[in-house]
Amino acid sequence: MATAGLLGDGQVKRLAARLAEAGFVSLFYRPDGDALAATGLLARVLATIDTPFQATVSRPGSDREETTDADLVVRVGVADPADGIDDAATPEGSDGESLALPGEPPPASLAAVDVVRELDYDPDPALALAGSVAAAVRDGRDPWDGSFAEANEALLDRARERGRLGDRRPGIAVPTAAVPDGLAHSTLVHAPFSGNLESVRERCGPLADDGDGTEIASLLALATVDADGTSPRGAIAIERALRPIALPGSTPVATLGGYADVLSCVAAERPGTGLGLVLGYDVRETTLDAWRAHARRAHAALREATVARYDGLCVARLGAIAGTEDTGRGEKGGGEETDGDGRTAPVATIARLVRDYRSPEPVALVVGDGIGALSATEDRALGALLAEATRDLDGAGGGTERAAAARFDADPEAFVAAVRSTLADGNRADDARTETRADATVGDRS
């Protein structure tokens, strides 16, 4: 069953045709699991047709500094979806054509499947599914319900036909066979023991050897929902971490949900390693180390954050250490080390966890020293919102409808104020549009 049409047949054909004829392709991808998976799918087909390529992570504020001599630039998951495939901004210094594979709608990984199939190649359904699940987690959606459920189910069937996926089973969706390790470092959930392996071992005890995973899943659900500060939304979000779909031993991770979690973490923490993972290189241990480091920092920072509630917005302010501590190493795609988000708190992951497990409001904002991220439960054009909010703060922001990140050179409180003001402007605009539609309806009836 094909997924063609998600991006639009004309767009798919155009991107596929340009990839087929390009002499050198540069892929710039957003540092999240969906964009990383999509980049892997495109890069694999480029390698198969012997087209040279480079892949580089693209963070807010960095695009204008990036240059390339490629004759085709593809921006994966970083373009404004409203712009369309032909309107991607070309990095400064590049003379080549620039196209986009937006991160929504659909998820970039599902759109990449259509492009690869247009080139008459069979994409890896497990990688595509992991990317799509990562996009769903990022945006607070259910991957098996809604606009892209049919495409995901089709990939699920294809993956099982190829022996790339197993069935659902009791337990938790983690990438490792070791249950305490998975519980401690999963970013699908924020429990009292998250980020602390010793605490997990003490809490789990003999349940760590639970035969079918039922009891350990119950422990996780109860510990999460009953924890102080957990919002009612947490009871829904925890479902993403339960009843996992198994992956075969040939896959570097144990479950589909764990695969999505690893992709999301490594894309932000060590994107060069993440690129190696999606290209099929043996980087399992390095990848899992990055996943663990990312999770520890995210959970620790959230636990120490100061949380305040405003009308429609929940703000988590990170401590100075959480915002700036040199606790990891970032990489640019291709392996070049950089002072990227490895030196900062993983604000995008923290914002998602605040949204799902701490915030009673529909939008969560996390702010540190010069960095921030937004996450929402509904479509709110957050990428455009952060671009607007940082315009006067010597910064830059971008993202999807429900998830966005920013860098800025101003006091964090100035950033919070700018976001609140921009969000309020957006709410007033939405109210005005609603009133206009209501007036039109009344007028039609009279």
Class (C level, CATH) for 9-123+137-159: alpha beta
Strands 25-29 and 72-76 turn out to be: parallel
Q: What is the pLDDT of residue 389?
A: 95
Q: Are 181 and 188 in contact (CB under 8 A)?
A: no
DSSP code string of 235-261: HHHGGGGBSPBB--TTSSSSBHHHHHH
Q: What is the pLDDT of residue 136?
A: 96
Residue 167 has pLDDT above 50, yes or no: yes
Q: What is the pLDDT of residues 68-86, one digit of tens each?
A: 788 999 999 975 544 444 4
Reported residue count of the chain is 446
Scan for tokens 């932000």, then name that residue.
268
Q: What is the pLDDT of residue 62?
A: 65
Average pLDDT for residues 424-446, to the nearest whole number? Answer: 49
Give residue 164's identity as a one-letter amino acid code: R
Q: Give SS3 for 181.
A: helix
Q: Which residue has the higher pLDDT, 348 or 180?
A: 348
d(CA 96, CA 94): 6
Residue 242 has pLDDT above 50, yes or no: yes
Q: Are 33 and 138 in contact (CB under 8 A)?
A: yes
Q: What is the pLDDT of residue 68?
A: 74
> For a pLDDT cut of 70, what percent of the chain falls above it?
82
Residue 216 has pLDDT above 80, yes or no: yes
The torsion of the CA quartet 60, 62, 64, 66, rounded to 10 degrees, works out to: -140
Q: Give the other-Cβ count within 10 Å of 229's Cβ.
A: 11
Residue 183 has pLDDT above 60, yes or no: yes
Q: Which residue has the higher pLDDT, 162 or 209?
A: 162
Angle between helices 125-139 and 256-269 (to 10 degrees): 70
Residue 262 has pLDDT above 90, yes or no: yes
Domain residue limits, the chain: 9-123+137-159, 179-377
Q: Give the other-Cβ count within 10 Å of 170's Cβ.
A: 16
DSSP code string of 31-100: SSHHHHHHHHHHHHHHHHTT--EEEEE--TTTGGG-----SEEEEES-S-GGG-TT-PPPPTT--SEEEE
Residue 87 has pLDDT above 50, yes or no: no
Angle at 274 between CA 269 and CA 280, to 5 degrees: 165
Q: Are 231 and 359 in contact (CB under 8 A)?
A: yes
CA nearest to 418, candidates 346, 377, 410, 430: 410
Residue 196 has pLDDT above 90, yes or no: yes
Strands 363-367 and 313-317 turn out to be: parallel
Q: What is the pLDDT of residue 67?
A: 64
Q: What is the pLDDT of residue 66?
A: 57
> For a pLDDT cut of 90, what percent of the chain falls above it?
68
Residue 63 has pLDDT above 70, yes or no: no
CA nearest to 402, candidates 185, 100, 107: 107
The torsion of the CA quartet 220, 226, 227, 231, rounded to 10 degrees, works out to: 110
Average pLDDT of the chain to the nearest whole number: 84
Residue 61 has pLDDT above 90, yes or no: no
| Paired tokens of 83 | 């712009």
The band of 333, judged by pLDDT with boundaries at 50, 70 and 90, is very low
d(CA 437, CA 446): 15
Residue 119 has pLDDT above 50, yes or no: yes
In degrees rounded to 5, what are phi and psi of residue 42? -70, -40
Tally of helices (H runs) and strands (E runs) in the chain: 16, 12
Q: What is the pLDDT of residue 213?
A: 77
Q: What is the pLDDT of residues 10-31, one digit of tens each?
A: 889 999 999 999 999 999 999 9
Average pLDDT for residues 248-253, to the nearest whole number? Answer: 80
Average pLDDT for residues 54-60, to the nearest whole number? Answer: 90
The CA-based diameter of the chain, rounded to the nearest angstrom, is: 70
Average pLDDT for residues 174-187, to the nearest whole number? Answer: 92
Average pLDDT for residues 212-234, to the nearest whole number? Answer: 88
DSSP code string of 386-426: HHHHTTTTT-EEEE-SSEEEEE-SS-HHHHHHHHHHHHHHH
d(CA 364, CA 292): 24
| Paired tokens of 108 | 């970039």
The band of 95, judged by pLDDT with boundaries at 50, 70 and 90, is low
The band of 321, judged by pLDDT with boundaries at 50, 70 and 90, is very low
DSSP code string of 328-382: S-EE-TTS-EESSGGGS--HHHHHHHHHHHT-SSSEEEEE-SSEEEEEESS---H
The band of 354, judged by pLDDT with boundaries at 50, 70 and 90, is very high
Q: Which residue has the higher pLDDT, 238 or 444?
A: 238
